[in-house]
Amino acid sequence: MKQQRIIISNDIHAALAQALSACEHDKTFVLTDDTTLRLCLPFIKECPALVGSRIITIPSSDSNKSLESLASVWRQLGEQGATRHSCLINLGGGMVTDLGGFAASTFKRGINFINIPTTLLAMVDASVGGKTGINFNGLKNEIGVFNDSDFVILDTNFLHTLDAENICSGYAEMLKHALIHHESMWARHVSFNLNAAVSHQPEAIRVLQQMVADSVSVKEHIVLEDPHEKGLRKALNLGHTFGHAFESWTLRRKPVLHGYAVAWGLIPELYLSVVKCGFPANRMRQTVQFIREHYGHLLIGCDDYAELIELMHHDKKNRGDEINVTLLKDIGELRINQTLSEAEIKDAFDFFRET
């Protein structure tokens, strides 16, 4: 898998020109969804490097990260004359970068692609690391491939286009990165004035921009060490075994943003870290308090446990019938491949409901 190059930029036109000059591209295509077409395409539309490019638009929201949307992108690439020497620019959040990366990786057996993440979540998570794919059969990211984009352009000016929920959603992945990395990074994240950032106060956004760079650095280091998730990269799954189950459960009811599901998933997994690995209870309580203050509650009942456990069995980290999870002994001290019993899972759901 090729190593993607990350450009952290305050000049999106210059960054895009730099990336395209290093990518083969007889034709250039820009993939947006309905939202980024309206809010984010104006940031790059006048870029000289994009003269003559074609726009492909798909419906927004994670429910459209689907086989139907993927086929639509393939179809439009073909109808507009894309060749295996063309380049696809994915301008959007994680849905666009995941689906667009998969479309580019499979069209004519693979064309170049560039990710320009426009949400905080995509900046620190989806656009970096080479995971591409779509939801399928009611399950998150069920179909996909590992394939790095040629470039990721991180321009935090896009943060000004985001509402409060999307900033919170991305911040959940940043909190996860802090938990798996270092105590000082964790302390900074649980004490950050997230309310000031979601209201776009300039100083809070300035601090958040630096935190984004640090968060991306944590993920980039892990992905370089373990690009195909054989060992260390499983650290990035903290919060996701329970979180993906919560997210898939809500897809059948009232969908939530990915980061909210991850934040909620951190609660039972930190609880299990205390019970099984000796993670400090005071740090768990401080993290849980921060999550409850900013992400609220997902209302589940005992009657939902069986469905949630069934969804957890579909997690890609599992082997056979075992449910595997990433836990922590302390901040930055990983315990991957931890197997959970059904009794432990139900105990963690009880804790989640009661906090």
Q: Is the CATH code 3.40.50.1970 the one for domain 5-161?
A: yes
Domain limits, CATH 3.40.50.1970, in the chain: 5-161
Taking residue 280's Cβ as centre, other Cβ atoms within 10 Å add up to 15
Q: What share of the chain is helix, strand, coil (3-state, %, to 5)?
A: 55, 15, 25
Q: Provide the CA 313 distance to its chain's centre, in angstroms.
A: 21
- Supply the pTM of this predicted model: 0.86
Q: How confident is the model at residue 234 (pLDDT cuts 50, 70, 90)?
A: confident
State how far the Cα of 329 lies from the Cα of 327, in Å rounded to an integer.
7
Rounded Cα distance, 115 and 132, in Å = 11
Strands (E), the chain: 5-8, 28-33, 54-58, 87-92, 112-117, 134-136, 139-143, 151-154, 323-330, 333-340
Segment among 11-25, 188-202, 226-240, 326-340 with least mean pLDDT: 226-240
Most confident of 37-46, 171-180, 203-212: 171-180
Pick the CATH number of 164-354 from 1.20.1090.10, 3.30.70.1380, 3.30.70.1140, 1.10.10.10: 1.20.1090.10
Q: Supply 209's token pair.
A: 């921009």
Average pLDDT on 107-115 reads 96
**Mean pLDDT, residues 97-120 taken together:** 96
List beta partners, residue 33.
58
Sign of CA dihedral 208, 214, 217, 219: negative
Q: Looking at the chain, which residues constitute the CATH 1.20.1090.10 domain(s)?
A: 164-354
Provide the 10 A C-beta neighbour count for residue 143: 14
Strands 151-154 and 112-117: parallel
- pLDDT for 344 equals 97
Kindly tell me if the per-residue pLDDT of 1 is higher than 60.
Answer: no
Collapse the DSSP code of 199 into the 3-class scheme (helix H, G, I; strand E, B; otherwise coil) and give the result.
coil
Per-residue pLDDT, averaged over 266-276, amounts to 98
For residue 201, what pLDDT band results from cuts at 50, 70 and 90? very high
Dig out the tokens for 157 from the structure: 């000016």
pLDDT at 189: 98
| Mean pLDDT, rounded, for 141-157 | 91
For the chain, percent of residues with pLDDT exceeding 70:
97
Structure tokens at 187: 């302390």
- Cβ atoms of residues 259 and 239 within 8 Å: no
